[in-house]
Structure 1
Amino acid sequence: MKSATFQHTWDSAVRRHTDSPFLVFRAESGEVCEWTYGEFDLVVARTADSLRAAGVGPGSPVHVALRNCPAFVALWLAASRLGAWLVPVDPASSPRDIDRQVRRVRPAVGVCASAREAVYREGAGDRVPAVLVLAEDAGDVNDSETPLLCTEVVEMGDQALRPEDRLAVMFTSGTTAEPKGVVLTQANYAHVAAVMAEAARLRPHHRWHVTLPLFHANAQYYCFAPAIAVGASVALSAAFSASGWLRQARELGATHASLFAAPIRMILARTPSEEPPLQLEHVWFAQSLGAEHYEWFARLVGTRPRQLYGMTETVAIVSADSSEHPVHDVIGTPVADRRIRVADPVSGNPAAPGATGELQVLGTPGRDLFAGYLDDAETTARAFSTEPQGTWFATGDLVSRDADGVLRFTGRVDDVIKVSGENVSLTEVEAAVAQAPGVLEAAVVGVSDPVRDTVPVAYVVARDPNEPPRAEDLDEWADRNLAPAARPRAWHLIDELPRTSVGKVRRFRVGS
């Protein structure tokens, strides 16, 4: 059905909001450029024609290694128009990463930045037939001589798109294992656009502030897609600046924002004390924040942020804190028509109220769940379980659900350790330790112990490198603020945490 494609969502937005603002782009230089829906649709048409001239057609993969820039958005929408599919990857990918990516997807076209062209070509070798090299600035979509706009628009006619047609493959962030290719359809994007617009109560006059990388699900799922669904606008920054985040949000006229906990902690640590608070209408956040950090950030943005829970695989979020008074440690209740269950990770039986269990989500692959993992039927089969009521997806995440049905996030299945038989969530300990005096952020890992089986050990980054916290002071703090089993048995001071490009800690690399 035409209405179940993302291309229909975009076409409808262009018809209804032709002269309304769509994209506001702030370059690293501070220069700001704007496009209406109608203006950007012309950019998309020119981009689609240039891709087609380079060999892209229905079903073709387009491998994109770009930072946040208007060209990224144009390529995404152009791929949709052509019936092709986007493969957005970390622009900082190494030659080895790029080599593995292109071997897996066999792209018709690759796109990279001129600043990283040598790295891209080293990794791509001769396996990418055509490579488009861009500047990652507004000129990519404004200058008629750029690779995206160098071809004259030719009337294409309506592309016969189907809801089940592939629109993207996103690689997971690889915090605990090698990245998996998450296959997403036209229907996936149409569905997430509608659901997330309603979840954020988005209206045409609203504007998202996007500083997280566009190749990641958060920016696409939670910001751009719902904005398009209702004709709202997006303020896109070329790069994240912790010290300038509030100022940029104010200058760009943002009303909405979406962040992870790690960037929030950076904003708290780097925002100048004289910076006046914002008056945002809505803020999403994901991953654990301590109570002190939550209240501090709420004061800075002028609204109480609402924690959500979702994955690349779940497309739209599964749950969110929609209460009148949001709090720091609740991921809320299921949104829209989501159906979930919390299963004991050992027996598979329903977990008792308050007990920790694995979150499982009911849905339809290719619509409100991802279509599957790229060329990996075995892993897809392990993730999905088909039952009479539909398909259940096992998230691998642990939650607890109270008697009122409110969910709290505990961590990944492998993020919970047993200390003398007691469950300890490394995620929760990290959120607490990040609030200790002198600590900017922390990662906590489990190590073997001959007496207690496993114990937590903390790796901390100092708020001020010139005055790092002392281990004995952190021990005293932990004695006052953490349960005995959760107290780190050792403290290691490090310069920075190994992270994915969106700020998630690669815990398996800590201490290695």
Structure 2
Amino acid sequence: MNSATFQHTWDSAVRRHTDSPFLVFRAESGDVAEWTYGEFDAVVARAAGALRAAGAGPGSPVHVALRNCPAFVALWLAASRLGAWLVPVDPASSARDIAGQVRRVRPAVGVCAYAREAVYREGAGDRVPVVLALGEDAGDAAAGPLAEATPVTTAERVTADDRLAVMFTSGTTSEPKGVVLTQANYAHVAVVMAEAAQLQARHRWHVTLPLFHANAQYYCFAPAIAVGASVALSAAFSASRWVAHARELGVTHASLFAAPIRMILARTASAEQPLQLEHVWFAQSLGIEHYERFARLVGTRPRQLYGMTETVAIVSADASARPVHNVIGTPVADRRIRVTDPASGSEASPGVPGELHVCGAPGRELFAGYLDDEKTTARVFTTGPEGTWFATGDLVTRDADGVLRFTGRVDDVIKVSGENVSLTEVEAAVAQAPGVLEAAVVGVPDPVRDKVPVAYVVARDPDEPPHAEDLDAWAVRNLAPAARPRAWHVIDELPRTSVGKVRRFRVGS
């Protein structure tokens, strides 16, 4: 196995880019603070000292419930320095959620925000020996507990196989699973994603998605560190101010999901001056109208990618000269894939949806396994002569040229009178209907057609919601017969994960 570690990646970046900008943080107040690589390494040293003083060391879990802030980044890198592992969770977790998390990971140290300390302690109970409460503003990265301990300037001897994090999945179709990640996973994703985005030291990522999920860590921070680029981190996502903030912070690169993109389009003034970004990643389906509008707004054609927390680096991306709205492209970085019929296991024919499988080494190109869940890990991993194959549970189609299109989760495709209908694709289309801001589509049993799609939509203007008969007429003009929703429900909001993915299993419940 490759001996590279993420700790080496960070140490190398600090040596090579000491005086170069690393982190630019925009607080909700609008205040902006900046650190070079060398300056932030001193913040990491103090954070490592605070964790060590609290009882964390090699192999220790550190449970962190913080919003986007410099302290979060410092704790992540400090855990790496100590040989500990981070468990980043939604800072808005309820006491019940926190109780479940700490029961599963048994942390040596818990970290929360001052504002949420009472909730955190209620959930943690006596299962967390030490709780550190921190502020989430710029100055708090070097204040309070993070400023009082002796700095740790020398890293522990960590290996590629050492655990660095456990990230809980978004849970769009089921309850979250704990994804185990190693030092080698982060070192590998840093290099692969820097190459995929053609990242250089002069570039700057715009990070508005939450740090406790994979996108910000895998696709933005890790590759930036690998090449000495910088990251502009926002305390919170603002759809109406996203473009203005990107301009203010001088960013060149961005990464978003489809849902935040639709929110940005809905809340950005038509007179807003377009950006001139060099590169934008996006994930999940966008309709062509939304795609083209967003491309004009950011000044470049976004490239759709496909990846999961479990695949670590992306599996594929649209690397064509003129990217389009509805392909996830071809495999990157020599990724090996296969597309199989979910029922027979045989190779799916071109254009026919099949389950995507990805080959790689667990703990390097793929996650190491699910936390304390050998049964589920064994179900998704299959070892053969070529290596270990991971069953993603996602459906794609592959055309004759090898270009992939995302269809949805295995259980997101329904049979309507024998015809396959992708709920994900119907949602992307319905989100463009007049009067609709966003949509979720579910399959419901039908005595004649097996299953039929039913749509739940959020009105663009709550005071003038779209009428079912108008949506029916729109569907007749824009959707194939099998894909047309048989019922329409206008709701106030969709149940979402913290990164904007729809929890379809909770829609209509």
TM-score, normalising length from structure 2?
A: 0.99
Shift of 1:142: 3.2
Other structure's SS at 1:152 match: coil
Moved more, 114-123 or 69-78: 114-123
Structure 1 segment 30-429 matched on structure 2, within 5 A: 30-143=30-143, 146-154=144-152, 157-429=154-426
> Does the Cα contact within 8 Å between 1:419 and 1:455 map onto a contact in 2?
yes
CA distance in 1, matches of 2:7, 2:438: 41
Other structure's SS at 2:145 match: coil
> Does the Cα contact within 8 Å between 1:21 and 1:36 map onto a contact in 2?
yes
Identity %: 85
> Does the Cα contact within 8 Å between 1:3 and 1:9 map onto a contact in 2?
no
CA distance in 2, matches of 1:245, 1:313: 29
Shift of 1:188: 0.1
Query: What's the counterpart of residue 20 of structure 1?
Result: 20
> Does the Cα contact within 8 Å between 2:68 and 2:236 map onto a contact in 1?
yes
CA distance in 2, matches of 1:261, 1:457: 21
AA partner of residue 409 (structure 1): F
AA partner of residue 252 (structure 1): L
Other structure's SS at 2:146 match: coil
Shift of 1:141: 1.5
Structure 1 segment 439-478 matched on structure 2, within 5 A: 439-478=436-475
Give CA-to-partner distance per residue, 1:376-409, whole Å, 9 cap, x none.
0000000100001100000000000000000000
Other structure's SS at 1:148 match: helix
Moved more, 107-116 or 278-287: 107-116
AA partner of residue 436 (structure 1): A
Give CA-to-partner distance per residue, 1:408-451, whole Å, 9 cap, x none.
00000010011111110000000000000000000000111111
Query: What's the counterpart of residue 510 of structure 1?
Result: 507
Segments of 4+ moved more than 4 angstroms: none
Other structure's SS at 1:229 match: helix
Shift of 1:452: 0.6
AA partner of residue 483 (structure 2): A
Shift of 1:158: 4.3
Against the structure 1 CA distance between its residues 309 and 372, is the aligned structure 2 distance closer, same or farther, given a 3 Å change threshold?
same
Other structure's SS at 1:311 match: coil
TM-score, normalising length from structure 1?
A: 0.99
AA partner of residue 10 (structure 1): W
AA partner of residue 326 (structure 1): P
Structure 1 runs not aligned, ≥5 long = none
CA distance in 2, matches of 1:315, 1:91: 23
AA partner of residue 488 (structure 1): P
> Does the Cα contact within 8 Å between 1:2 and 1:8 map onto a contact in 2?
no
Query: What's the counterpart of residue 478 of structure 2?
Result: 481
Shift of 1:154: 5.0
CA distance in 2, matches of 1:435, 1:114: 41
CA distance in 1, matches of 2:157, 2:149: 23
Shift of 1:499: 0.2
AA partner of residue 341 (structure 1): R
RMSD (Å), alpha carbons? 0.9
CA distance in 2, matches of 1:53, 1:382: 40
> Does the Cα contact within 8 Å between 2:3 and 2:159 map onto a contact in 1?
no
AA partner of residue 152 (structure 1): T
